[in-house]
Amino acid sequence: MNLELRSLTSKDVDAFVLADAYAFGERHEDREKHEEWIHSDLDRAVAAFDGSELVGTGRNYSLDLTLPGGAIVPAAGVSWIATIPTHRRRGVLGAVMRYLLDDAAARDEPVAILTASEATTYERFGFGVATQVFGIRLLLAPIAFRDERPPGRLRFVEVDESSKIAPELFDRVRRARVGVVSRPKVWWVGEWAPPEPGNRFDVVYEVDGRVDGYVVYRTSGMWEEGFSRKRIEVRDLVAATPSAERALWQFLCEVDLVEEVRAVAVPIDSELAWQFTDSRQVRLSSLRDFLWLRPLDACRLLGARSYDAPGQLVLQVSDPMRPDGAASGRFLLEGGPDGASCERTDLPADLSLGVADLGSMALGTLAPQMLVRAGRVQEHVEGAAALAGRMFATDRAPTAFTWF
């Protein structure tokens, strides 16, 4: 195979989309609804060719990521990673990933991020699990909330109205919530606004005329022998306040003619179970990774966030894929609630870790002490992992909201 990587041009888009369809076994029958999203950041897309045949795809989207303390940093959103089945295990994926990481570094983005179709693929390229989510099932018959629904107004809106309301609310929320990834305008048009399979419904929650939350859900199921066997599937639920979030969940659990509510991406620190009289009624169907993070510039990433407790650590970070990159080496981190600084140093290391593990620690998702116990992080100074745990901890679990 004579593999050649080329920047994507508009004339290659059809072949690019077709290669993705071959790789995932899913044809884009409604492609016209996603056209803007496909063409977004086209200059950051790459195609792998074997002769004249397009055999692999990948692209970066220009996104933003919210860090602990509220800092927002640019991030390369890695997406559309695909190798057609006839060319698997022939170096296509590695070549595409190196191209995309080089592109991100050249644009001075301190991190690359992605949402993964397979959990075994990306650690070897330096990505670590940065947020996790629960899948839940709520069987509605036995459910009861402890308190009355919060005061406020719930109302149905159609997509033309909600597509104006939701982006503004989401932007307000994502600036205050660790781990949230920005949604470009074309994402709302291409991924969120088209009708969902089945029956889509949008509901907003307002207090004194201000929208503090919304939910998009769809219903599925049928009537069987005179009984409704329908269920609700939550597609997007975003709330600016705990009251708004509770009001939306309570609404979902009180919709008539529905047996069950399902959601596949609930933040792992959700308080929902503790608002029920019987917390067991939140049935966990899955615990899985959501956002993956790959440090490209350790000092910019670590120096941009704040830390829950003051402290000083020397971190030895190994990055075999980019040994000369800005995420490889020994770094002195000094941080606290008011900010941080990070610089290269020759001081002895307190902790040694791989770049993927730094990605898992960066937002506060995986505790350094746990990674030491798992054998992934090495502690050279007694108490260093505990100090790192106090420093990197966050008040709320990071959450990303957006699959890309």
CB of 179 within 8 A of CB of 66? Answer: yes
Could you tell me if residue 253 is left (phi over 0), alpha (psi between -120 and 50 degrees) or otherwise beta?
alpha
Q: Does the domain made of 3-109 have the CATH classification 3.40.630.30? A: yes
Q: How confident is the model at residue 320 (pLDDT cuts 50, 70, 90)?
A: very high
Residue 30 has pLDDT above 70, yes or no: no
Q: How confident is the model at residue 193 (pLDDT cuts 50, 70, 90)?
A: confident
Instruction: Encode 204-238: b = buried (16+ Cβ within 10 Å), e = exposed.
Output: bbbbeeebbbbbbbbbebeeeeeeeebbbbbbbbb
Report the C-alpha gap between 292 and 376 in whole angstroms.
17
3-state secondary structure the chain: CCEEEEECCHHHHHHHHHHHHHHHCCCCCCHHHHHHHHHCCHHHEEEEEECCEEEEEEEEEEEEEECCCCCEEEEEEEEEEEECHHHCCCCHHHHHHHHHHHHHHHCCCCEEEEECCCCCCCHHHCCEECCEEEEEEEECCCCCECCCCCCCEEEEECHHHHHHHHHHHHHHHHCCCCCCECCCHHHHHHHHCCCCCCEEEEEEEEECCEEEEEEEEEEECCEECCEECCEEEEEEEEECCHHHHHHHHHHHHCCCCCCEEEEEEEECCCCHHHHECCHHHEEEEEEEECEEEEECEHHHHHHHCCCCCCEEEEEEEECCCCCCCECCEEEEEEEECCEEEEEECCCCCCEEEEHHHHHHHCCCCCCHHHHHHCCCCEECCCCHHHHHHHHHCCCCCCCCCCCC
Q: How confident is the model at residue 191 (pLDDT cuts 50, 70, 90)?
A: confident
Residue 291 has pLDDT above 90, yes or no: yes
Q: How confident is the model at residue 32 (pLDDT cuts 50, 70, 90)?
A: low
Thinking of the domain 134-288, which architecture would CATH place it in? 3-Layer(aba) Sandwich (3.40)
List Cβ neighbours of 9 (8 Å cut-off, separation of 6 or more): 42
Q: How far is CA 365 from the centre of its chain?
A: 12
Please state which of the four CATH numbers 1.10.10.10, 3.30.1050.10, 3.60.70.12, 3.40.50.10300 is assigned to the domain occupying 297-392.
3.30.1050.10
Report the C-alpha gap between 331 and 329 in whole angstroms.
7
- pLDDT higher at 170 or 227: 170
Tell me, what's the pLDDT at 374? 98
257-261 mean pLDDT: 94
In the chain, CATH 3.30.1050.10 covers 297-392
Q: Looking up tokens 């969940």, which residue turns up?
A: 249
CA nearest 177: which of 252, 243, 242, 273? 242
Residues comprising the chain, all counted: 404
Residue 197 has pLDDT above 80, yes or no: no
Residue 29 has pLDDT above 80, yes or no: no
Per residue in 228-258, pLDDT (tens digit) is 889 999 999 999 999 999 999 999 999 999 9
Report the C-alpha gap between 295 and 272 in whole angstroms.
33
96-102 mean pLDDT: 98
Q: How confident is the model at residue 3 (pLDDT cuts 50, 70, 90)?
A: very high
Instruction: Encode 119-139: b = buried (16+ Cβ within 10 Å), e = exposed.
Output: eeebbebbbbbbbbbbebebe
Tell me, what's the pLDDT at 322? 97
Q: Determine the straight-line distance between the first and last CA of the chain, rounded to whole angstroms.
A: 30
CB of 321 within 8 A of CB of 332? Answer: no
43-71 mean pLDDT: 97
Tell me, what's the pLDDT at 224? 82
Q: Which residues pair with 112 in a beta bridge?
A: 76, 294
Tell me, what's the pLDDT at 33? 60
Across the chain, what does the average pLDDT equal? 95
371-376 mean pLDDT: 98
Per residue in 138-183, pLDDT (tens digit) is 999 889 999 999 999 999 999 999 999 999 999 999 999 999 999 9
* Tokens linked to 97: 């990933």
Pairing between strand 111-115 and 72-83?
A: parallel
Report the C-alpha gap between 400 and 171 in whole angstroms.
13
Tell me, what's the pLDDT at 222? 86
Report the C-alpha gap between 38 and 189 in whole angstroms.
11
Q: How confident is the model at residue 225 (pLDDT cuts 50, 70, 90)?
A: confident
In the chain, CATH 3.40.630.30 covers 3-109, 134-288
Q: Fill in the amino acid letter for 118.
A: E
Share of the chain above pLDDT 90, in %: 89
Tell me, what's the pLDDT at 166? 98
What's phi and psi for 289, nearest 5 deg? -70, 155
